[in-house]
Chains A and B, each alone.
Chain A
Amino acid sequence: MKIVLALIISIISFIFLPNKIVFATDTTPPISTLTIDPVSSTGSNGWYNQSVDIQINASDNDSGVAKISYTLDSHPQVDKDIQASPNLIDNPSFEEHHNYIPYYWDRPIFSSNVYVSPNYSVDGLYSLRFNYNIWPINYLTNESYYISADSFETYFFSAWLKTNVVGFGINYEIMAKINGSDQLIYRSPSYNNLSDFTFVNKSFTTPSGTTALYINLYSIGWGNAYFDSLYLGKITAESSVNFNISEQGKHTLIYYATDQADNVGDNNDEEFNIDITAPSNWQNFNYTEQGNSHTLVLTIDVSDSISGLNLTNAFFQYYIEGVGWGVYEDLTNCSSSFLLNQWAIPTVSYVVNPTKAKITTPKIDFCNSNWAQDKKIRFKIMDIAGNESISSEYALNSPWIYTSKFDVGSNNAISFTAVSQADGVVEANGDITNLDTTSGITLKDYVNSTEISALSLISQTDFITLPENKLPTENGRYRFVGNMTLDNKSINNYDKNTICSVVAIDGSLTISKDYSLKDSSSCLIFLIIGNVTLAQNVNNIEGFFIVDGTFNTGSSNKSLTVKGGVVANNIILSRSLSGKENLTDPSEYFDYDLNLLFNAAELLSTSRNSTFWLEL
């Protein structure tokens, strides 16, 4: 009786309702908002100096939120799909059937021409077919397999339809069981002439007293129609995505949401800035005398590549042995009061606005020319985001080194008292103090696995025995057993001829005489199992020294230039220049000889470093 009544209602509705096809009933886009934690900037000038947590919230009261999308700066867009609620309909695509009669659905006895068909499908192998050629009124329901529901819940129903029915067409009803009786929640318009499967949907809220929901599918007319891929689920009205941003810089975050009916919300944007890193790259420390040798103007460069440098927040203080860290009240008068632990204000100007600045002190009198007395200075500055950096301590007139072209490395830390200068990469398995590099490439705490053993290199290739304590007279690889001393005799006119050789020494090497190679085609590589010691009078030598023991530059007040390179298990940099020469000249200068790369490759290109085997 119920079914007959429903059919009559349906027929009446087909007749009196406008035959208008509305494919999607949700046309309202979702709304998205953003929250940022911490709510306000933690640094200065609107910058965060920590990472931030972002939450994007989206809401859509019709079909529900399907996706939240966001783009940070120039990064690719990120789409976060919102998990739809599970389909509450049993056998929604009519894949389960027995002799083409679908499970979990009922048809009235006169609707035998409603059955599962393999002719067309949206998903899976089958759809539900209404064959109107036999009987023009057809009907299917899952009332017996109803979906439990409660009052005031919001749901989303959708289906795919295809029909060529001539007549009233096809439609569906969403029904509710309320206090024991059946109540129509929604009746769709009737659909005709859908040559392709078409998506239809409806969102709704259950009335008070609802205990269950079910779906009726109708057709009235002549022809064929197909239903497939039905869906009924609770709407996910509100959703959010959370993520953390630690990437430093000025950011713009664009975000929006999309609902289940593919309505796209408006683009929103949020701007915020993050700088976690304090200023760095303290370099180019320098000073000039102002009237006497102990009155100086000192300069240094510092960088901050994120927010830039705050020129109003730079300071300096200095140290004089026996006095302490601070500043004299009158910087040029050591008779004035010494303000212990106080800082003074320098002049600061941008070298590159706003990321690099030069700090210049006023004239400072360091009180005397006793350079054996410890005198030091240090600086501090803030970046625009409020991160503060304090420089290393820069000793005045302490000896320092200069290395050219290639890299400086240490399997431990690098710690220099005075600022030294390098051209190449600076790398240490620890901290790096007072070694600036023009390459801008530094590697702290780096564990290097490069082979540095002279003995290992010796074992990888063949050598000609060098019978005497003399350098060879021809190109090649030579090996000498015993200690060697390089002097007038043992140099053996190596410096007067174009020779390129490797000399391995199973012992130690003492260099007691300056020497140089004849020309750019010459080379001299030492592989030394023992130590290398330089005499005080040695100031200029050439060659590349790989030393398993210690390389000692020798105690002297004259500058040493090594044209080549030094790799040693221990390096003792012993030299310090006389007078105030340390102010301007390096005590040791290591000048890499790039000719080596071309002259000596054949001599030491072992199969270990140039041959790579792979079984296919």
Chain B
Amino acid sequence: MKIYITPKDNKGAILIISIIIGVIALAAGLTAANFVSRSTRNITDQESSIKALSIAEAGVEKVLGASDVASYPCPLTVGTTPTTQGHIPDLNELLQGGGNVSKSGNCFFDEDLNGDDVSDQSYYLEVTSKGGASTYTMDEVDKDSVLEISTEGLNTEILTINWTVDAGNYASLLITEVYKVGPAYEVKKYAFNPADGHLNGGQTSNGFPSANNELASITLTAGTQIIRIKPLYYKANNIVVSTEGNLFPTANQGFEIYSTGCTCADVLDANSRKNASVRKVKVTKTREHLPAIFDYVLYSGSETDPLTK
């Protein structure tokens, strides 16, 4: 039996084709809408993430900018002893006894950030003294910059200084110790290359002793006050200065601030953090010290003229 398709029968085919085209158009439309929606959401997420970072950074600025109890609006606690609610004392003074300072609850801004409602902005602060422990750590110190650490009271203690270097960028360390003899200050200098074979990125040997796998050791002098650590040639990473067991002093030793910012009402509440962005920053505030240029008694900066006499 033969089947003939008449023009009348074609009407069904057109319908089917129309439906198929419609479905394709709908699918394309939905895909486009989904794409736009995703893009918009990504942009929103990015904005939210940047905002969370700003909140975390603003929390740190609040701490660094606080000069006394009255100037800080966020309540912190020292160990288990709460300070005056709503205020933070000068951190250096606060941390004289070592230990940690942490926020017992959320900190809220008392002013709008980007014109938004402050109720969706919170941050949480943790502050730790750089002293009061047998090790002092620093993530990195730039080439020719100085890290100063108080060593007062660590008389004749053997310090070990461990650092890491980037491959091929072998940082040496110049260490200056200032100590007191009677009322006068005196100074000692030490210089270390990293491990054997890591001589200053292939430059000419400088005659420094090689530390054993970037682990140098010095014996502090009676009356020791400070050490200043300066990386030469390249930046030094993960600096860890360890005593034999005695604790680094806490007075004016600096502190670390961890600030967690959230685009939510309560950064400490998991439910509040849902669908919000959370970012965290760490800020190390070292002991107040003079810049590295003060390590010179005489320095000529001219690139064209030698220092002559």
Contacts and interface: CB of A to CB of B under 8 A. Distances in A.
Contact of B143 (A449, A573, A604, A613): A449
A492 B185 CA distance: 28
Given A441-B174, A595-B185, A597-B226, A569 B290 contact: no
Interface stretch (A7-15, A21-29, A154-162, A413-421): A413-421
Interface stretch (B32-40, B81-89, B297-305): B297-305
A567 interface: yes
B301 A569 contact: yes
B283 A416 contact: no
A531 to B, nearest CB: 13
A441 B189 contact: yes
A401 B196 CA distance: 36
A444 B233 CA distance: 12
A612 B53 CA distance: 16
Given A412-B305, A417-B309, A595-B185, A613 B283 contact: yes
A59 to B, nearest CB: 31
A615 B285 contact: no
B29 interface: no
A450 B292 contact: yes
Contacts of A420: 309
B125 interface: no
Interface stretch (A40-48, A188-196, A403-411, A467-475): A403-411
Contacts of A418: 309
A445 interface: yes
B306 interface: yes
Contact of A452 (B145, B185, B299): B299
Nearest to A420: B309
Contacts of B64: 607, 611
A424 B187 CA distance: 9
B291 interface: yes
Contacts of A588: 309
Interface string B192-221: 000010000001101110000000000000
Nearest to A452: B301
A605 B293 CA distance: 12
A614 B139 contact: yes
A565 B297 contact: yes
Contacts of A446: 232
In this complex, which of A420, A544, A597 has the most chain B Cβ atoms within 10 angstroms of its Cβ?
A597
Interface string A197-226: 000000000000000000000000000000
A452 to B, nearest CB: 5
Given A445-B203, A594-B178, A606-B291, A412 B306 contact: yes
Contact of B297 (A403, A410, A606, A612): A403
Nearest to B279: A615
B308 A415 contact: yes
A569 B140 CA distance: 29
A611 B285 contact: yes
Interface residues of A, number: 80
Interface residues of B, number: 62
A457 B307 contact: no
A450 B144 contact: yes
B254 to A, nearest CB: 7
B7 interface: no
Contact of B296 (A407, A444, A602, A610): A407
A590 interface: yes
Contacts of A448: 144
A127 to B, nearest CB: 44
Contact of A408 (B144, B178, B226, B299): B299
B284 A424 contact: no
A167 interface: no
Interface in B141-156: 143-146
A615 B280 contact: yes
Contact of B204 (A403, A444, A611): A444
Contacts of B305: 412, 570
Nearest to A443: B206
A406 B296 contact: yes
A416 B53 contact: no
Nearest to B145: A609
Interface string B36-75: 0000000000000000010000001000100000000000
B225 to A, nearest CB: 8
A450 B288 contact: no
Contact of B291 (A75, A398, A609): A609
A149 interface: no
A565 B300 contact: no
A408 B286 CA distance: 26
Main secondary structure of the interface of A (DSSP, over half): mixed
B4 interface: no
A507 interface: no
Contact of B281 (A399, A414, A430, A615): A615
A615 B53 contact: yes
B183 interface: yes
A462 B1 CA distance: 102
Given A416-B309, A430-B306, A611-B284, A594 B301 contact: no
Nearest to B225: A598
B303 A412 contact: yes
A465 interface: no
A592 B187 CA distance: 10
A610 B289 CA distance: 7
Given A413-B307, A609-B292, A405 B299 contact: no
Interface string A523-566: 00000000000000000000010100000000000000000011
Contacts of B302: 410-412, 569-570
Given A405-B187, A568-B300, A573 B283 contact: no
Nearest to B287: A610
A5 interface: no
A247 to B, nearest CB: 8
Given A568-B301, A613-B281, A604 B291 contact: yes
A605 B282 contact: no
A459 to B, nearest CB: 13
Interface in B92-129: none
A428 B283 contact: no
Given A443-B206, A610-B285, A610-B287, A411 B300 contact: yes
A271 interface: no
B191 interface: yes
A425 interface: yes
A389 to B, nearest CB: 14
A428 B189 CA distance: 17
A428 B187 contact: no
A441 B192 CA distance: 10
A312 to B, nearest CB: 26
A406 B297 contact: yes
B309 A441 contact: no
Interface in B220-235: 225-226, 232
A71 B303 CA distance: 46
A412 B292 CA distance: 19
Contacts of A399: 309
A445 B107 CA distance: 52
B279 A597 contact: no
A616 interface: yes
A403 B203 CA distance: 28
Contacts of B140: 612
Contacts of A566: 297-299
Contact of B290 (A424, A430, A605, A607): A605
Given A452-B293, A611-B285, A409 B299 contact: yes
A115 interface: no
11 contacts: A407-B297, A408-B299, A425-B174, A425-B191, A441-B191, A450-B291, A452-B293, A520-B183, A571-B298, A605-B288, A616-B281
For the complex of A and B, the 9 pairs showing the least CB-CB separation, nearest first, are A594-B185, A605-B288, A413-B306, A410-B307, A592-B297, A406-B297, A567-B299, A409-B299, A612-B284
Given A407-B299, A410-B300, 12 more contacts: A399-B309, A414-B306, A425-B174, A425-B189, A565-B297, A568-B299, A588-B309, A590-B298, A592-B187, A601-B289, A605-B288, A609-B291
